[in-house]
Structure 1
Amino acid sequence: MTMIAELPFLPDAVIFDMDGLMIDSERVSIACWSQAARELQLPFEDGFWLQMVGLGDRDCGQLLRQRVDADQVAALLARCHDLYEARTQAGLPLRPGIMELLQLLDDHGIARAVATTTRQPRASRKLAAAGLLRFFEVVVTSGDVAHPKPAPDIYLLAAQRLGKHPTRCLALEDSPAGIRAAVGAGMTAIQVPDLVHPDQALRALGHRIVASLADAHSLLLTHLR
């Protein structure tokens, strides 16, 4: 088993991605994209949707327009939105270990924020439905910044709203785009890969990569004992 380097400090704040990290929603999202494309008889293979994990609406739209025309993109987006909203209202499962990690941070008074590409009001609805919203002082979405992940803007804004310096913040992410955003903001980053695993180019950023949120919990616990 590969040893994970200890955190260099106890962070002043921990900033969390949402989809794929806290909420097990990426599989649901991909299923909705795939179903919508099949219903509309659009030429997408199932593996295509992995490219969209962690990206904002604009970047996803650019990927789609490389394959189909603007009217087809609009129809696909609308159908996928309806399918996803129905699944969200039915409730989405949590990623293992998230409640224990959030409770640990809450018990020790460590500030927490969400930095997600999901826009409002959907982001807050999903967090509330999952029982997570109460743990966060700040929720920042891609609608709050000019440039979504992988740009660092969303993490810089989350730190600013918490009143913390980015270099004293820990970021938790699952996607490559999110890790690039967090590292670009100057934060210490831990990746908990879900559907998309880091390639050599991403690993070269030097961030910590762990198998589960329980591993992230253990890294923080060393500074809290």
Structure 2
Amino acid sequence: MTSLDPALALPFLPDAVIFDMDGLMLDSERAINACMAQAARELGHALPDTLWLQMIGGGDGLCRRLVAGQIGEAAADALLAHSEALYDAVADAGIDHRPGIVELLELLVARGIPRAVATSTRRPLAMRKLRAAGLLPYFDAVCTSSDVPRPKPAPDVYLLAASTLGVDPARCLVLEDSPTGVRAALAAGMTPVQVPDLLEPDAETQALGHRIVASLEQAQRLLEARLAL
């Protein structure tokens, strides 16, 4: 695309930008899915690939419920523990960035716009992943599922991020890849821009009425257009 639909234009210059992590900044959804599938195979479970896609954007509780619904609670616990061990090694090696994330963060730093992470990942793993990927220094705050009572699509982690930054939620721009995260941002009263990764927005997601762009580069162009006003 050479230009963006004017209807996508941001309604305000945000006082802060809050980022999801997995699938938005880090190419981790593919890595997570691969570890889940490998763990299932090694433990002798024939599970559909569509099951891993249903977990995108959710917390640990959702993942466990989905797997337990297929193979029972005890087997689910064993599978998830094995998958976590596999994924820990991947995370510690440093997960690849999604294209455009560093350029976008550099723009926000240069403009003095505060930045936070709001992720469904638990704090210890989130910090390890951000540090290994070299992204941690870009953020003023990191808020995780460990820090709130309810995971996305509840708004808790986004509201915590706004509070930590000292910014009105209504003045926050959110970047998300998943429908679950978009719903959390909307519930927090924020303005989400969705950058889909593995899950393309279905009709129900599109009906939420938020902005959807094809890449982080396009999300950056939305910001640059507002900065130029």
Counterparts of 2:160 and 2:94 in 1: how far apart (Å)? 29
The residue number in structure 1 matching 2:45 is 42
The residue number in structure 1 matching 2:185 is 182
> 1:66 is aligned with what amino acid?
G
8 A contact 2:17–2:174 mirrored in 1: yes
Q: Residue 52 of structure 1 aligns to a residue in which SS? A: coil
1:111 is aligned to 2:114 = yes
Match of 2:68 among 58, 65, 68: 65
Deviation, structure 1 residue 48:
1.4
8 A contact 2:17–2:114 mirrored in 1: yes
1:80 is aligned to 2:83 = yes
**TM-score (structure 1 length as normaliser):** 0.97
Deviation, structure 1 residue 43:
3.0
> 1:100 is aligned with what amino acid?
E
Q: Please identify, of 41-50 and 91-100, the stretch whose mean Cα deviation from structure 2 is larger.
A: 41-50
> 1:138 is aligned with what amino acid?
A
The residue number in structure 2 matching 1:144 is 147
> 1:101 is aligned with what amino acid?
L
Deviation, structure 1 residue 223:
2.2
Deviation, structure 1 residue 87:
1.1
8 A contact 2:194–2:212 mirrored in 1: yes
- The 4+ residue runs of structure 1 with deviation greater than 6 A are none
Deviation, structure 1 residue 128:
0.8
Q: Residue 121 of structure 1 aligns to a residue in which SS? A: helix
The residue number in structure 1 matching 2:105 is 102
1:168 is aligned to 2:171 = yes
Q: Residue 171 of structure 1 aligns to a residue in which SS? A: strand
Deviation, structure 1 residue 51:
0.3
The residue number in structure 1 matching 2:194 is 191
Counterparts of 2:53 and 2:85 in 1: how far apart (Å)? 20
The residue number in structure 1 matching 2:59 is 56
**TM-score (structure 2 length as normaliser):** 0.96
Q: 1:10-38 CA deviation, whole Å, 9 max, x = no partner?
A: 00000000000000010000000000001
Q: 1:139-188 CA deviation, whole Å, 9 max, x = no partner?
A: 00011111100111110111011100110000000011100100111111
> 1:184 is aligned with what amino acid?
A
Give the aligned length. Answer: 225
Q: Residue 71 of structure 2 aligns to a residue in which SS? A: coil
8 A contact 2:177–2:196 mirrored in 1: yes
The residue number in structure 2 matching 1:31 is 34
Counterparts of 2:82 and 2:8 in 1: how far apart (Å)? 44
Deviation, structure 1 residue 9:
0.6
Structure 2 runs not aligned, ≥5 long: none
Structure 1 runs not aligned, ≥5 long: none
> 2:41 is aligned with what amino acid?
R
Deviation, structure 1 residue 42:
1.4
Counterparts of 1:79 and 1:73 in 2: how far apart (Å)? 10
